[in-house]
Amino acid sequence: MTKEEIAQKLEEIAAILEIKGENPFKVRAYYNAARVVSGITEDLGALIGKNQLVAIKGIGKNLAEHIQELYETGHLKEYEKIIASVPAGVLEMLRIPGVGPKKVKVLWGKLRITSISGLEHSCHAGRVATLEGFGEKTQTKILEGIAQIKKHEGKFLYAMALSAIEPIFEKMAKHPKVKIAEVCGSLRRCKEIVGDADILLATASPKEVSDFFVKLPQVERVLAHGETKSSVMLKMGMQCDLRCVTVEEFPSALHYFTGSKEHNVAMRQIAQEKGMKMNEYGLFTLRPFDPSTSSGLRVSGAGGERLILCKDEAKLFEKLGMEYIPPEMRENIGEIEAAKAHKIPKLVEVKDIRGVFHCHSTWSDGTASIEEMALGAKALGLEFIGTADHSEAAHYAGGLNAKRVQEQFKEIDRLNKKLKGIHIFKGIEADILPDGEVDLGEKVLSTFDYVVASVHSKFNMTEEEMTKRIIKAIKNKTVRILGHMTGRLLLSREGYPVNLADVVKACVDYDVAIEINSSPMRLDIDWRNIPFAKEKGAMFVINPDAHSVSGIANYRYGVGIARKGWLTAKDILNTRSIEEIAKWLKK
């Protein structure tokens, strides 16, 4: 088991013990152990090998043995019985916001509820409100929580879906009978939230390949298993579809299964206008013979239709008289017209990004030192990194006061002298206070290379109040970047209301860059609003909002979002040299 899986298991055991009414000290020990395990930064295998688990605070001999057993076998013999004694549906109720083990214990014990749908039913019948310690208010809250879970069912964060699908894709792509492989659907389009994963393969042995696919260890159950079309439910809860086609069909199938559906419909329309037919098997001409397209002509089976052979997607677009449309743009929001007019912008690429801003360190709520973060950025091939620890008002995240800022500057100056090949910009993520003032004040803020201003508190304002608050911060002359435009957390929290047009206009007027926050849970500003902001003349900056060394690589997700927003390298601050950036920041 991985560290994360072990932590999850320990937490599950703690919850089960609590539901079962076991000794509270024992319960707390397991919750604690789960937290400790997820916070371990060293390699767990190495720690176990050196017998060093017990040296960690919060882990005794007994727990150390349990962790080792989980690490090696994935099971805990001592708890198998007690885990099996609690129905899976009872544990699932813990997913409902505001429903913890204590409540589950009562719901299960008193009302014999063993599933979320059973709970929903009992709430509607008013039975939950009558339980001791519950009441009408709690019952309503539970119903709201259930509605929220249902809304998010079958939806996954892009990054989570991608990391689940990568090992599967790799195995399929490496299969000796597979000639070409590609991830399609919303994942290829870099949608911030995806429903399922789609894998497309070119092979002459579809049956053999499909049989291999449905038997992968990540598969929980098989939903459909045909020769060319299979679907499975993965253990992590997401569906994965597989399609096998021939090498000749591949480009058309790739285009079709990349979607979006709306883009496909519009493309088919264009084919029709040109006297052609387009589907997942190919592009066909309906005219008897056309010398201009005769080069790749082949007679197909269906009555007089001729397949126009295309070696790749680019050729497909070319045959329709269009410029190639990158997958991220295929949302039918004007890309078809742009491709017809040969006005597809040259989208920014990951390799264009020369460095990142907005990184947290152990000075506030990050897990790595500034030095570790800088070296991590360098290892990714970046030329610079900008720190941005929280400011004092974010006390829950260890925000910096003026004195700590001074100390941090000394550390950064020292590192900038010591480290070669990576420059550290001094920044801060300063809170936009409820009245629009920026935390720490102008005197301290003006000593930074740059200030990211973000809202982290008092979200429940009206749109008018919030817009006024943010614009006041944008007008603060020390602020150079507006952090996460709406504060949304994908699949869990709506953003605060803002008048986007007014905020964008203020950013343009006061020369403040708009952050594309690239944390997988945020991806905020929403890509749908990027073209508008670009048209108004906004400058963008792709920020990983990293809280660990591995989080620095988040900027790749931001590049995907920038591409969905049709941005070029020129629109993005991170593509410039250190000198150019220093100049821009001083403006």
Please give the residue ranges that form the binding site for Ca ion (CB under 5 A).
185-186, 196, 198, 241
228 makes contact with ligand DGT (CB under 6 A): no
Residue nearest ligand DGT (C-beta atom): 259
Query: At its nearest, how many Å lie between Ca ion and the CB of residue 218?
Result: 16
Query: At its nearest, how many Å lie between Zn ion and the CB of residue 483?
Result: 5
Q: Nearest 5°: phi and psi at 282?
A: 165, 180
Cα distances (Å, whole numbers) of residue 265 to 258, 277, 280, 336: 12, 12, 12, 11
Strands in 355-359's sheet, in edge-to-edge order, are: 355-359, 384-387, 423-425
454 makes contact with Zn ion (CB under 5 A): yes
**Contact mark string toward Zn ion, 126..165, x via CB under 5 A:** ----------------------------------------
Query: At its nearest, how many Å lie between Ca ion and the CB of residue 253?
Result: 13
Cα distances (Å, whole numbers) of residue 310 to 283, 335, 503, 572: 8, 21, 46, 35
Q: Which of these, 477, 471, 483, 382, lies nearest to 425 by C-alpha position? A: 382
Residue 251 interacting partner from Zn ion, Ca ion, ligand DGT, none (CB closer than 5 to 8 Å by kind):
none
Q: Where are the beta strands (DSSP E) in 247-353?
A: 276-279, 282-285, 297-299, 306-308
367 makes contact with ligand DGT (CB under 6 A): no
Helix and strand counts by DSSP (H, E) for the chain: 24, 20
Piece in contact with ligand DGT (CB under 6 A), picked from 1-9, 191-199, 297-305, 544-552: 191-199
Pairing of strands 481-482, 423-425: unpaired
What three-state secondary structure class fits 378? helix
Closest CB to ligand DGT among residues 66, 191: 191
Query: At its nearest, how many Å lie between Ca ion and the CB of residue 196?
Result: 4
CA dist., res. 185 & res. 182, Å (int):
10
User: Buried (b) or exposed (e) across 30-54, using 16+ Cβ within 10 A?
Assistant: bbbbbebbeebeeebeebeeeeebe
185 makes contact with ligand DGT (CB under 6 A): yes
169 makes contact with ligand DGT (CB under 6 A): no
Query: At its nearest, how many Å lie between Ca ion and the CB of residue 560?
Result: 16
HSE at residue 490, side-chain half, CA atoms within 13 A, is 21
Angle between helices 61-73 and 3-19 (to 10 degrees): 120
Closest CB to ligand DGT among residues 158, 555: 158
387 makes contact with Zn ion (CB under 5 A): no
486 makes contact with Zn ion (CB under 5 A): no
**Contact mark string toward ligand DGT, 235..264, x via CB under 6 A:** ---------------------xx-xxx--x
Q: Which of 86, 194, 412, 438 binds ligand DGT (CB under 6 A)?
A: 194
Binding residues for ligand DGT (CB under 6 A): 185-186, 191, 194-196, 198, 256-257, 259-261, 264-265
Binding residues for Zn ion (CB under 5 A): 454
